[in-house]
Amino acid sequence: MKLAICTGGGDCPGLNPVIRAVVKYAKHRHNTEVVGIEESFNGLLTRPIRQQALTPESVADIFDRGGTILGTHNYGDTLRGADEKKHIALIKTGLKELGVECLLVVGGEGTQSMAQKLVRAGVKVIGIPKTIDNDLPGTDQTIGFSTCVDLVSDSVQRLRSTAESHDRIMIIEVMGRDSGYIALHGGIAGGAQIVLIPEINFSYDKIIAKIRKRQQEGRKYSLVVVSEGASPEGEASIYNQTFAKQKILGGIGQEVASKLRQLTAMDTRYTVLGHLQRGGAPNAVDKLLAARFAMAAVDLAIKEQFGKIVVLKGNRIASMPYESSHHFERFKIPADDELLQAAEGMGICLGR
Ligand code: F6P
């Protein structure tokens, strides 16, 4: 059997380790070759096909490298609209030309939705979950999330010393789209007092009450983590750019800063962490998760159990059929989430 692998959607730390682990495990355990498809599914839409022969030697040194050696593609659904049928046919024939039996798709919700269409069209696919946002349904964790949370946590801690020195309110805007996992995990781990997530429309009164309470207790600074998709009660999320007809979230950090400056008369500054959250070397957790997902995905392919996505459930790797949901939607933090409860239980203000 010959396998192919592609990486789709926004890049994240851990993509290169998963490529490396797939190639090494396939070769050493199953004597199976792997070919890399470039730029998500797009590499299969052109002729010649854009591909890379991957060997244990060629991937040996990519372990610590951020990004993806295969390239990726965000925005613009390759498998939607007028070209959907044509593109599916090109992908099918492309895999055939390469002699590939199964395509391993490393991606988040957008990429896995496209992979689901391929499964329905008869392509043999195995999915591997990745995204810093941790918002893919069915898995407790995605590759990239842990490294991102490390950075957010470290950044909040760095802001703390300067906030404390100047008696300031410091606001940090983080990614996550419509899910607040990055903000919640990074905020708790970094010691923020206020965490604003898209799942809870926040009230400025509640935030100010928290800041005032801290002042009365002698703590004259406050740290606020705000997720890019968060919004105040009665208002919608803020978008600050458009690309490929897609609106891109951003700006809520600045908005919260100017509002809090106005309402509290305190010195208030904001930082947007942006794409720093997607770059850099993966941490140990992401490298280990990449290795575990890679092994499970290759084993499923070898056993010809196609049409499944490997997932983390508790502390175990499992798999779920692409057909377990009609279509993939971004997963949001449920109301009974343990960390959500823990945050409020410890006195972190979620703006409600
Ligand atoms: O999905 C990952 C993510 O990093 C989101 O958190 C963020 O909103 C988005 O991608 C940004 O994507 P891009 O860099 O393509 O604009």
Q: Is 249 in the pocket of ligand 1 (CB under 6 A)?
A: yes
* Tokens found for residue 329: 């939607």
Question: Cα separation of 206 and 352, whole Å?
Answer: 6
pLDDT of residue 81: 83
Give CATH for domain 2-143+282-314: 3.40.50.450
pLDDT of residue 76: 67
Distance 11 CA to ligand 1 centre (A): 8
Q: Residue 220's closest CA among 209, 211, 228, 210?
A: 211
Q: Is the pLDDT at 75 greater than 80, yes or no?
A: no
Quick check: helix, strand or coil at residue 103? strand
Question: Cα separation of 328 and 308, whole Å?
Answer: 13
pLDDT of residue 210: 98
Q: Do the domains 2-143+282-314 and 147-278+335-345 sit in the same CATH topology, yes or no? A: yes
Q: What is the average pLDDT across 316-322?
A: 98
Q: Is 176 in the pocket of ligand 1 (CB under 6 A)?
A: yes
Nearest CA to ligand 1 atom 10: 10
pLDDT of residue 169: 98
Q: What is the average pLDDT across 83-93?
A: 95
**Could you tell me which residue, 82 or 134, shows the higher pLDDT?**
134
Which of 79-83, 116-120, 274-278, 300-304 is predicted least confidently?
A: 79-83
pLDDT cut 90: percent of the chain above it: 94
Alpha-carbon torsion angle 161, 163, 166, 167, nearest 10: -130
Question: Cα separation of 9 and 12, whole Å?
Answer: 9
Helix (H) or strand (E) holding 257: helix 252-264
pLDDT in tens, 320-346: 999 988 778 899 999 999 999 999 999
- Asked if the 147-278+335-345 domain carries CATH number 1.10.3720.10, the reply is no
What mean pLDDT, rounded, does the chain reach? Answer: 96
Nearest CA to ligand 1 atom 16: 248
Q: Is the pLDDT at 258 greater than 70, yes or no?
A: yes
pLDDT of residue 187: 98
Q: Is 39 in the pocket of ligand 1 (CB under 6 A)?
A: no
Residue ranges of domains in the chain: 2-143+282-314, 147-278+335-345
Q: What is the average pLDDT across 168-174?
A: 98
pLDDT in tens, 184-234: 999 999 999 999 999 999 999 999 999 999 999 999 999 999 999 999 999
pLDDT in tens, 119-149: 999 999 999 999 999 999 999 999 999 999 9
User: ∠ at Cα 250 (249, 254), nearest 5°?
Assistant: 155
Distance 286 CA to ligand 1 centre (A): 18
b/e 229-238 (16+ beta carbons within 10 angstroms → b): bbbbeeeebb
133 is catalytic: yes
pLDDT of residue 327: 79
Q: Give residue for tokens 């600045």.
A: 254
pLDDT cut 70: percent of the chain above it: 100
Among candidate residues 11, 77, 133, 154, the one labeled active-site is 133
